[in-house]
Amino acid sequence: MTTPALPAGRYGPPPRAGRRPLVVVALGITAVVVLAWILWVVIESRSPVHWTDVGFRIVSDQQVDVTYDVHKDADLSATCTLRALDQGKGTVGTADVVVGPSTSDVTRRTDTVRTSALAVTGFVRSCVVTGTSPGH
């Protein structure tokens, strides 16, 4: 039994040989990027400390105050790195702040970042757990 020939032009031009590998490569790259993002989200969600920037106040050419909430177990200590940027997004100040154990899982802080020039913003760059209470 032979397969009948398809009517010419009815189904469009035959596919080009070079297009399929490009589609496969593009799909593969997309899948890798999506998996990497999912992995990053899962790892970040397991971190024992998180923060939320609340605001900042430019005090002077040499100082910005940063207000933020630190979310962690009450008996943990964390070190948060605060950062101040100038108009060109260059770093003009940093400060490492220890947030010790507290009575609540959320601690609101306002801390000062000394700057070398006028800052236009201040924020928390990172927070990491640096200690636990003896029973933890």
The model's pTM: 0.65
Where exactly are the structural domains of the chain? 17-46, 49-132
CATH of domain 49-132: 2.60.40
- What are the tens digits of pLDDT across the range 63-99? 999 999 999 999 999 999 999 999 999 999 999 999 9
Q: How far apart are CA 91 and CA 93, in angstroms?
A: 6
Percent residues over pLDDT 70 in the chain: 85
Residues 92-123 have pLDDT tens digits of 999 999 999 999 999 999 999 999 999 999 99
